[in-house]
Structure 1
Amino acid sequence: MLDIRRVLASAPKKHTEETLNALMTVWGEALNPSEVLSEHPRPRMKRDNIVVLNGVWNYVMVPFSGASDVEGLAQETIPSRWDGEIVVPFSPEAPLSGVGRTLHPDELLWYKRVVEFPKLAPEQRLILHFEAVDWRCACFVNERLAGTHTGGYLPFSYDITDLLDTRERAEIAVCVYDPSDTGTQLRGKQMLSRGDIWYTAQSGIWQSVWCETVPAAHLEELTLQGDMNGYIDLHARSSVHLENSALSNSRLFDNATLELTLFDADGRNVLETTLPIEKNGEICARLHIDEPRLWSHEAPYIYEALVALHVGSAVDIVRSYCAFRTVKVEADANGVSRIHLNGKPFFIKGVLDQGYWPDGLMTAPSDVALLYDIQAMRAAGFNTLRKHIKIECERWYYHCDRLGMLVWQDCVSGGNSYSSWHTSQKPTLFSFTWARFQDRTKRHQEALSAADANYQQEWTAACHAMVRLLDGHPSVAVWTLFNEGWGQFDAKTAVESVRALDATRPIDAVSGWYDQGCGDVLSIHNYFRPLGAGWRGRHTSNAGHGQKPGDGRAVVISEFGGLAQMVAGHSSLNHAYGYGNFATADEWKAAVQQELAKAESLQGEGLAGYIYTQLSDVEEEVNGLLTYDRKINKLSC
């Protein structure tokens, strides 16, 4: 039975330009602009010689009417006048940046900073890293182009050694173009006219900027991925800068090797091996240890790794880690398809995590803030976080690895402006349409805002890059490809391509509706009907005493709840968006607990898990278990 009153109450409203109430987290209040997110940005690939470049930069926004492709940005002239200072890596729209200004689609955002570097030895290189810049950018070092990048959610790097006028100093300038939701690029939940479930758009540098000194021959990528049987898959890619190098010869990798040593939590050596390097610099190997300690939610056991690349006389030493665990969808003893962790059924008890903050927007104000969210949800009894339509900084996954929090990882959505009818109203009112809307036809792709060929190409490339970036994190358990039809196209082909890259994780092809019968999960959103509706009967077949999926997929309610409770003084607006109407905090708390208990009770009827909406309030949404500023835990107050 559809809850019409709740449907009407949740209808999108006309978005207005209301000013958000000023909210700060305790970490934002304590922020020191000269000591911002100073931790190593890549815990799975750590070297000692790094300099984190977060902190105060110069910035300016300038009118723009030129070519917005990478070639056009590469031709732009570095400004001579600057508007002021910005605290990187917070976007100019974020209060912690110190700017408080929206970048518009007809403007460019420029950054500049002069950096002092440690002196380089003759056979060393200096690599400049950006963890994420939204959306397209060109980077200049000492007024010369270092490189360009397109894509707002993934890291990229430049070797800037040859652009240094001296070995110890450089002026870095970055030019950024971001059309936000006026374009078709991947943008997640950002919108220039925010409101309801859409949040303040942000632009520019929003994750850490840093540099490191490396040998001329060094590792560029390293992934260690273990399974419950003790096998570990190693993939690494090395790079060598040959110019003016004693290493330069036509048979560079003939005697090159990679040494791997694995240590348990007590520091004992459990694996030591030396591997040859292929002619193209790649290293791929399957290794094995006996009786591995397995990683799980209850006991997240981590093995430390020391990796040494030897090419000629050059040695590159990297510290990393890995874990042994297996995640699969398979039938339980009663023939019901469920998610299994290390060979045993594992009921997903998850929370939707948008990864937004009132003072930093998509950038957490500190590393401790990232930890707080994970720990608070673990203490509340949840075992999974669904990272929603966002790729988080790598330190967040590192903390999930250490703390045993499983991650249900979404791809980032994009495309043209979404049709409320096709992505919300029709599937809400008429659930029978969920399995009757094919996403391979041009007409249906247009309806789902996904027909643009450039968008499809960018989505596919970003999806594959996300899988390669995160596949070494044991916490990452499931990939979600599309959500509620936002920019959805050809999910079957997408599943096949992701499976070819990573066959070790289940795939949630389509979360919400417009199921294409592919992937490992039947993924349902249910805010307006009894929780058992939407999969019992239509998507299942009777068998024995219960019901089980008829197509071998696990059934998960991947969004539900969303019960609203505003906390005075801790909300971005004086009105709310969410579901339900509760007179007191105690009534809200009882209703949330009742919803969670209902979902868990469906485990006996074949449900494999749930994702409750959501971890924290975000702007107009007040359906979080925590307030937006993280100062109130509504479940425990």
Structure 2
Amino acid sequence: MITVRIQSLVACLILVASATVSRAQDAVIDTWRYTFEAPKDGWQAVGFDDSAWTKGAGGFGTQNTPGARIGTEWKSHHIWIRKTFELKVVPAKPALLIHHDDEAEVFINGKQVAAFQRWTSVYEVVTLEAAAVSALKAGANVLAVHCHQDAGGQFIDVHVIDADNVPKLPRPKRNLETFKSPLITTWGEEVTAENAWTEYPRPQMTRQNWTNLNGHWDYAITSSEVQQTPDQWTGKILVPFCLESKLGGVQRMLDIGESLWYHRTFNASPKADHRTLLNFEAVDYRCAVFVNGQKVGEHQGGNNPFSVDATTVVMHGCNELVVRVEDETEGFQLRGKQVLNPNGIWYTQVSGIWQTVWLEEVASQFIEDLDLATDAAKGTITVRSSLGGNGSAKTLRMIVKDGDCTVGESKGDAAEVSVTVPDAKLWSPASPHLYNLVISLLSADGKVVDEVRSYAGIRTVGKARDAAGHLRMMLNGKPLFHLGPLDQGWWPDGLLTPPSDEAMLFDIKFLKSAGFNMIRKHIKIEPRRYYTHCDQIGIMVWQDQVSGGNNPAWTRLDPNPHDAEWPPAAHEQFMLEFDRMIDSLDSHPSIVLWTPFNEAWGQHLTTSVGEWAIKRDPSRIINIASGGNFWPVADVVDHHEYPHPAFPFDDSRYKDFIQVVGEFGGHGFPTKGHLWADTDAIWGYGNLPQNLDELKHRYQISCEKLADLKSKGIAAGVYTQTTDVETEINGLMTYDRRVIKLPAEELRKFHALVLD
């Protein structure tokens, strides 16, 4: 057996780079069996049964490890791998082609032939000693390896080769199995096909007659070239959870060049003079919808709700519904934190249906959309409606109720109707009062053609200078410092999809009880019920646009900002999805600010986008680029600083903008037994606290510094973040929400340093 310490990097490069001569050689076997759990004794032996181990492509490790070619992600401290390879003859000069980070033990046919210390940064050729060569034989051989990771990067890949004929390793085949973390939330443990997201999905425009289509669907995966519905289905997937999620039941990634197909049946009893709408709250990314073999609609964009009219093809009795999905995840596709190879602050991809699917029957002419606006000074609620279908009705009536008591009523042209509420009770985080609305479409003779229920919170958002001349954010004419967490809305079991409505509500209630008055919803659009909960509980929302595409150089607040170059079609899709987000959410009183860009991710045509946003929604504040490249447009200049908050004040440049610290903190603290993966590749800012007391102390310091910044003109602060997410461990709670690191009552005391 040979024991090897790290060799000269130059020598290794010469060995590998010079071995480009090609002659007949045995095929490189790149498929292994692997386990992260310590196996039974004898795992190195030829006859060991490794059938229960997971099958994956080599090599194994993390993407940022130098020189690594990743076929399968490995994040734990230990990995054991085995493969069988064939030799036509034993090479004249047998060797190992190995890249290891860190220590590795190598066995051939049950015999240990090498042990390696420390790590390498490239593949090395290590000639086997005579005693080790004796373990090889013509025919089938078993290679078994154990690798241990100490710190930093990690990687292992080993091949038996001829040292005089070093093969060129193939590009690793992408491992499409998602990382199977043991984490699951208490709500995820309770999810079944019968109780999966049964709540009404559109709470600001409700009707009684609807059918929930969540539950088990058939699924299949084909080449994207296949356009015909599959004849056979691979298995069941639990909608509305995505293909990659634990709760979906599949845990497989959709590859570029593949299509994901869904299938189910539903019963219908369509009425004459009514229309049947199929509603999808979110499908990532591009989809086509078929009913009874007929295409009824298609959609592109993974984050916005959409509807298709299936009236002409829906039959009495049983109907067949098929959805075909394509999802490349990266490129110019808006995907937020999703990537093909998760690492660091980038997470598992999400493909397919990931929010509720439902069926709705409406009148032949119906209220298709509502846009609610309010004025705190006047006490008015204004509704603007869009009508769908066919009919001559043009009158809209709005009844405003405070509880069961009618406090106002008006009717007029369907395009716009307003009601003035006497002595209106205003919406704020301290008093989140909501008025119930009954909105009816009336025929010329006054009959109700269609009717929906809604609600409104009367409030006005603005900005004004304080006595010192600093711009402050205003709510109902009064200055209000905004303090909230960066909230990404990811879950270990559902990924982008919360395991339940109750789970989603838990996060909001915790943040409210902790003394936050705002949530920055980061690079994700939540189910619409999320924003209703914020409306009801009383917590403001800063809503990010979902990011994607090419990035410019990140110049932050430098005076000469950069923009990325985007093709016109990609920009048009960005703006379309931005507009759809505003359209679906702009009636929620809790949403007070839109953020088109974050940290220069996909930042392009900044001035144009900012000017468009101001015109699109003049009732809210526009934060053009949170922590990104500052262009003098819209309302806010936003700086990110870790770990403690700071701001580069410059009155000459920023005096006409609200100044905020859009991200700070990120104080990491790993909680054993509640980590996404058993790995040292975890993400936090600054050195990790040694204990919870130190974590609390650092949090207090951050709050004290933010209070000082407030006195100098800072109008808001955003702490990173609500929960751990995958390998990020800087949450106030663990990823599975089972451990609250900083209790709400203690956080409230710290926040009083800023807010009081």
Q: Is TM-score (shorter-chain normalized) higher than 0.5?
A: yes
Residue 510 in 1 paired to residue 625 in 2? Answer: yes
Counterpart selection for 1:57 from 217, 220, 223: 217
1:268 shift after superposition: 1.4
Q: Aligned partners of 1:323, 1:606: CA distance in 2, in Å?
A: 29
Q: Aligned partners of 1:562, 1:13: CA distance in 2, in Å?
A: 24
Which aligned pairs between 1:468-479 and structure 2 lie closer than 5 A?
468-479=583-594
Q: Aligned partners of 1:227, 1:380: CA distance in 2, in Å?
A: 30
1:414 shift after superposition: 1.1
Q: Aligned partners of 1:240, 1:577: CA distance in 2, in Å?
A: 51
1:133 shift after superposition: 0.3
1:329 shift after superposition: 1.7
Q: Give CA-to-partner distance per residue, 1:505-535, whole Å, 9 cap, x none.
A: 010001103100111111111116x633x42
Q: Aligned partners of 1:37, 1:550: CA distance in 2, in Å?
A: 45
Going from structure 1 to structure 2, the CA distance change for 1:471 and 1:44 (only over 3 Å counts) comes to same
Query: SS of 1:398's equivalent?
Result: helix
Query: SS of 1:108's equivalent?
Result: strand
Q: Give CA-to-partner distance per residue, 1:522-557, whole Å, 9 cap, x none.
A: 1111116x633x422xx225xxxxxxx743211110
1:20 shift after superposition: 4.8
Query: SS of 1:162's equivalent?
Result: coil
Moved over 3 A (4+): 11-16, 311-314
Greater mean alpha carbon deviation, residues 461-470 or residues 596-605:
596-605
1:589 shift after superposition: 2.1
CA contact (8 A) 2:396 2:417 kept: no
Residue 174 in 1 paired to residue 287 in 2? Answer: no
Q: Give CA-to-partner distance per residue, 1:398-435, whole Å, 9 cap, x none.
A: 0000000100000111114x57xx34xxx4xxx6x633
Residue 636 in 1 paired to residue 739 in 2? Answer: no
User: Could you say which structure has the larger radius of gyration?
Assistant: 2
Residue 270 in 1 paired to residue 270 in 2? Answer: no
Q: Give CA-to-partner distance per residue, 1:205-257, whole Å, 9 cap, x none.
A: 0010001111111110012221212122211011124xxxxx5xxxx24xx31
- The equivalent residue for 1:204 is 352
Q: Aligned partners of 1:13, 1:396: CA distance in 2, in Å?
A: 38
Residue 98 in 1 paired to residue 236 in 2? Answer: no
- The equivalent residue for 2:196 is 36
Counterpart selection for 1:234 from 383, 398, 401: 383
Q: Give CA-to-partner distance per residue, 1:302-339, whole Å, 9 cap, x none.
A: 00000111236662110000011111121123321011
1:258 shift after superposition: 1.2
- The equivalent residue for 1:442 is none
Q: Aligned partners of 1:353, 1:295: CA distance in 2, in Å?
A: 22
Q: Aligned partners of 1:79, 1:606: CA distance in 2, in Å?
A: 61
Residue 260 in 1 paired to residue 394 in 2? Answer: no
Q: Aligned partners of 1:20, 1:552: CA distance in 2, in Å?
A: 49
Going from structure 1 to structure 2, the CA distance change for 1:79 and 1:169 (only over 3 Å counts) comes to same
Higher percent of residues as helix: 1
Greater mean alpha carbon deviation, residues 578-587 or residues 345-354:
578-587
* AA in 2 matched with 1:274: K
- The equivalent residue for 1:127 is 277
Greater mean alpha carbon deviation, residues 31-40 or residues 80-89:
31-40
Query: SS of 2:596's equivalent?
Result: strand
CA contact (8 A) 2:214 2:238 kept: yes
- The equivalent residue for 1:434 is 558
Q: Give CA-to-partner distance per residue, 1:52-104, whole Å, 9 cap, x none.
A: 111100001112247xxxxxxxxx21111110000001001000000111111
Which aligned pairs between 1:584-603 and structure 2 lie closer than 5 A?
584-603=691-710
Query: SS of 1:199's equivalent?
Result: coil
1:287 shift after superposition: 3.8
Q: Aligned partners of 1:464, 1:485: CA distance in 2, in Å?
A: 20
1:13 shift after superposition: 6.2
Q: Aligned partners of 2:277, 2:347: CA distance in 1, in Å?
A: 34
Q: Aligned partners of 1:167, 1:568: CA distance in 2, in Å?
A: 55
Q: Aligned partners of 2:610, 2:383: CA distance in 1, in Å?
A: 23
Query: Aligned residue pairs: how many?
Result: 568
1:169 shift after superposition: 2.4
- The equivalent residue for 1:546 is none
1:363 shift after superposition: 0.2
TM-score (normalizing by structure 1): 0.86
Q: Aligned partners of 1:21, 1:171: CA distance in 2, in Å?
A: 35
Q: Give CA-to-partner distance per residue, 1:253-310, whole Å, 9 cap, x none.
A: 4xx3111100013x21111111123xxxxx1244422321000001100000001112
Residue 531 in 1 paired to residue 645 in 2? Answer: yes
Q: Aligned partners of 2:201, 2:450: CA distance in 1, in Å?
A: 18
Q: Give CA-to-partner distance per residue, 1:158-217, whole Å, 9 cap, x none.
A: 1112112x2232100000000011x31111110010011101001000010001111111
Counterpart selection for 1:571 from 665, 671, 675: 675
Q: Which runs of 5+ in 1 are unaligned?
A: 1-10, 67-75, 242-246, 278-282, 440-444, 542-548
Query: SS of 1:396's equivalent?
Result: helix
1:577 shift after superposition: 0.9
Residue 219 in 1 paired to residue 334 in 2? Answer: no
Q: Aligned partners of 1:148, 1:384: CA distance in 2, in Å?
A: 36
* AA in 2 matched with 1:631: R
Counterpart selection for 1:496 from 597, 608, 611: 611
CA contact (8 A) 2:398 2:419 kept: no
- The equivalent residue for 1:552 is 656
CA contact (8 A) 1:257 1:311 kept: yes
CA contact (8 A) 2:395 2:443 kept: yes
Going from structure 1 to structure 2, the CA distance change for 1:20 and 1:122 (only over 3 Å counts) comes to closer
Which aligned pairs between 1:614-633 and structure 2 lie closer than 5 A?
614-633=721-740
Q: Aligned partners of 1:103, 1:377: CA distance in 2, in Å?
A: 34
Q: Aligned partners of 1:479, 1:399: CA distance in 2, in Å?
A: 19
- The equivalent residue for 1:8 is none
* AA in 1 matched with 2:482: I
Q: Aligned partners of 2:486, 2:559: CA distance in 1, in Å?
A: 24
CA contact (8 A) 1:12 1:196 kept: no
Q: Aligned partners of 2:525, 2:272: CA distance in 1, in Å?
A: 37
Query: SS of 1:180's equivalent?
Result: coil
Going from structure 1 to structure 2, the CA distance change for 1:134 and 1:31 (only over 3 Å counts) comes to same
CA contact (8 A) 1:124 1:214 kept: yes
CA contact (8 A) 2:645 2:665 kept: no
CA contact (8 A) 1:137 1:150 kept: yes
Q: Aligned partners of 1:341, 1:595: CA distance in 2, in Å?
A: 25
Greater mean alpha carbon deviation, residues 572-581 or residues 389-398:
572-581
Q: Aligned partners of 1:608, 1:454: CA distance in 2, in Å?
A: 37
Query: SS of 2:530's equivalent?
Result: helix
- The equivalent residue for 1:23 is 183
Q: Aligned partners of 1:13, 1:238: CA distance in 2, in Å?
A: 56
CA contact (8 A) 2:470 2:655 kept: no
Q: Give CA-to-partner distance per residue, 1:354-406, whole Å, 9 cap, x none.
A: 11000000000000011100011111111111111111110000000000010
Query: SS of 2:464's equivalent?
Result: strand
The CA RMSD over aligned residues, in Å, is 1.8
CA contact (8 A) 2:188 2:499 kept: yes
* AA in 1 matched with 2:714: L
- The equivalent residue for 2:235 is 84
* AA in 2 matched with 1:262: V
* AA in 2 matched with 1:52: N
TM-score (normalizing by structure 2): 0.73
CA contact (8 A) 2:637 2:654 kept: no
Q: Aligned partners of 1:619, 1:216: CA distance in 2, in Å?
A: 47
Query: SS of 2:362's equivalent?
Result: strand
Q: Aligned partners of 1:610, 1:186: CA distance in 2, in Å?
A: 26
- The equivalent residue for 1:346 is 480
- The equivalent residue for 1:244 is none
Q: Aligned partners of 2:271, 2:436: CA distance in 1, in Å?
A: 29
* AA in 1 matched with 2:683: Y
Structure of higher RCO (CA pairs closer than 8 Å, 6+ residues apart): 1
Q: Aligned partners of 2:270, 2:412: CA distance in 1, in Å?
A: 29
- The equivalent residue for 1:311 is 443
Q: Aligned partners of 1:150, 1:159: CA distance in 2, in Å?
A: 16
1:27 shift after superposition: 0.4
CA contact (8 A) 1:512 1:524 kept: yes
